Amino acid sequence: MSRFSIGLLAIILALVWTYASRAVERFPPPDFTSHQLPETPQPPPPAPWWETIDVVLLVTALVLATYFALAKRSRNATLVLTGFSLFWFGFHRQGCVCPIGAIQDVAQGLFDSAHAIPWSILVFFSLPLVFALFFGRVFCAAVCPLGAIQEIAAIRPHKLPDWLEQMLGLFPWVYLGLAVLYAATGTAYVICEYDPFVAFFRRSGATSMLVFGGALLAIGIFVGRPYCRFLCPYGVILGLFAKLARWHVRIPPTECIRCRLCEDACPYNAIVAPVPPLTRSERAPARRRLLLAMAVLPIWLALGGGIGYALHPIMAQLDPQVRLARWVRSKNIDPNNKFAVDAVTAFHNTGASEASLYQAAAERLRKFGVGSAIFGLWVGLVFGLKWVHTSTRPSRQEYLPDPRRCVACGRCFWYCPVEQVRRGWIIEDELLQLPKERAPLVSSVANDE
């Protein structure tokens, strides 16, 4: 990590400490010896003009991130914007509104006509996707507060084996399906409830989430952006849009000399190495592997759908009505489970009949039966398409960033010798001093047809 990055980290930590120390009530509460103030689970709704300011700043930050990453090619400028986004969208706005959590609002709005989606949430959800469609994942580069706090924490990041990267990369797709299922059924917003860093942004929260967020940051010192790469459901959507982007981060400003320094520098396994074309003898086995993977795809779908439906009674336990019906029916509630005891007591105090509760819970279970089956189909599709993807091997002639994985952090700019020549950091003659073994030749294999 450069001195500039370390200095920026120190400044941000100082600002955060100062801001947190001044976060006191405007009017102190009365001193009641027997009264405990309730914990606010989420910040109060922002004023309309604050929403407008947030949207304007989001647009400005996305434009600047695009300029710094694609035009100016400046890692330092990107880090400065990262620090601002962490302060404003993270600690100042307390992580809300967040495009990641907005997935749930959009999902519930699509399946529940009575659910109105605020205009600011629609903008926060869609605008980063629009930029990703044209310029790649510039939102992840320096705008997202969750990515910003991890980027600054990545002091000594190391690369993971590719097979482990591929396996862990499936979890965000599964998490996305779960989030949509629970939001569409009106059960819970699991992305917001289990956001690992919102407790830091709000300086309060469950101890378990503080520990979870702290653990991710500790892991993030050595494994860059673990939440972004292996949990974030919005990141995989951005990756799909970025795959179609016409403009995205390019490592060398002109021609790639295949020195492999960018591959070593990227901690996110986002640099795709050159791949020679298949020889004639390799084409037939590769074609058979691809056909097999495509033929097995329906089996993945059927297996996933069946398992999803079989698990729907378990998945429905997160629903408040289903859970309450189970507690009421059991008649033997653990007295140490104060939450369950209070819920059952409150239900009986309403005077509602148990039959009506059981009928409502049964209806919820039927909805979860359909939703869980669709979720299982989704998981089966994810695993099946992953097998299809690993069975393909497109040829490439230079080192390129994978648009789906590249978060446009700009680390590779510092290490590219061609970029260093452009900036005047080294002279062009020094390129000839690179070790020969670090510049493997990737030439077209002769076609013997």
On the question of pLDDT at 17 being above 50, the answer is: no
Q: Where are the beta strands (DSSP E) in 206-354?
A: 271-272
Mean confidence (pLDDT) of the chain: 82
Positive/negative CA dihedral, 192, 193, 199, 205:
positive
pLDDT value at position 46? 58
User: Which range has the worst mean pLDDT, 22-31, 170-179, 380-389?
Assistant: 22-31
Contacts of 162 (CB under 8 A, 6+ apart): 269
| CA–CA separation, 196 and 193 (whole Å) | 9
pLDDT digits (tens, 9 = 90+) for 285-303: 888 999 999 999 999 999 9
pLDDT value at position 436? 47
Q: What is the largest CA-CA distance in the chain?
A: 89
Read off the pLDDT band of 424 (50, 70, 90).
confident
On the question of pLDDT at 338 being above 70, the answer is: yes
**Winning range, highest mean pLDDT, from 43-57, 266-280, 313-327, 414-428:** 313-327
Q: What mean pLDDT comes out for the span 195-216? A: 88
pTM: 0.81
On the question of pLDDT at 393 being above 80, the answer is: no
428: amino acid identity, one letter: E
Read off the pLDDT band of 377 (50, 70, 90).
very high
Other Cβ atoms closer than 10 A to 170: 15
Residue 165 corresponds to which tokens in the numbers above?
Answer: 């990267």
pLDDT value at position 432? 54
Q: Which of 60, 199, 225 is nearest to 131 (CA)?
A: 60
| 152 vs 431, more confident | 152
Residue 398 corresponds to which tokens in the numbers above?
Answer: 């230079």
Q: What mean pLDDT comes out for the span 318-344? A: 85
pLDDT digits (tens, 9 = 90+) for 126-141: 999 999 999 999 999 9
pLDDT value at position 42? 53
Q: What is the DSSP string of 160-218?
A: PPHHHHHHHTTHHHHHHHHHHHHHHTTS--HHHHT-SSHHHHHT---HHHHHHHHHHHH
399-412 b/e (C-beta count within 10 Å ≥ 16 → b): bbbbbbbbbbbbbb
User: Which range has the worst mean pLDDT, 38-52, 143-157, 207-221, 347-361?
Assistant: 38-52
pLDDT value at position 25? 39
Read off the pLDDT band of 433 (50, 70, 90).
low
* Eight-class DSSP state of 275: B
pLDDT value at position 306? 96
What are the CA-CA distances from residue 299 to residues 280, 308, 375 (Å)? Answer: 31, 14, 15
On the question of pLDDT at 78 being above 50, the answer is: yes
pLDDT value at position 20? 38
Read off the pLDDT band of 267 (50, 70, 90).
confident
User: Which range has the worst mean pLDDT, 4-18, 145-159, 401-415?
Assistant: 4-18
| CA–CA separation, 42 and 50 (whole Å) | 16
Contact 268, 405 (CB under 8 A): yes
Q: Which of 106, 404, 62, 392 is nearest to 240 (CA)?
A: 404
Peptide bond into 379 cis (omega under 30): no
Q: What percent of the chain has pLDDT over 70?
A: 84
On the question of pLDDT at 101 being above 80, the answer is: yes
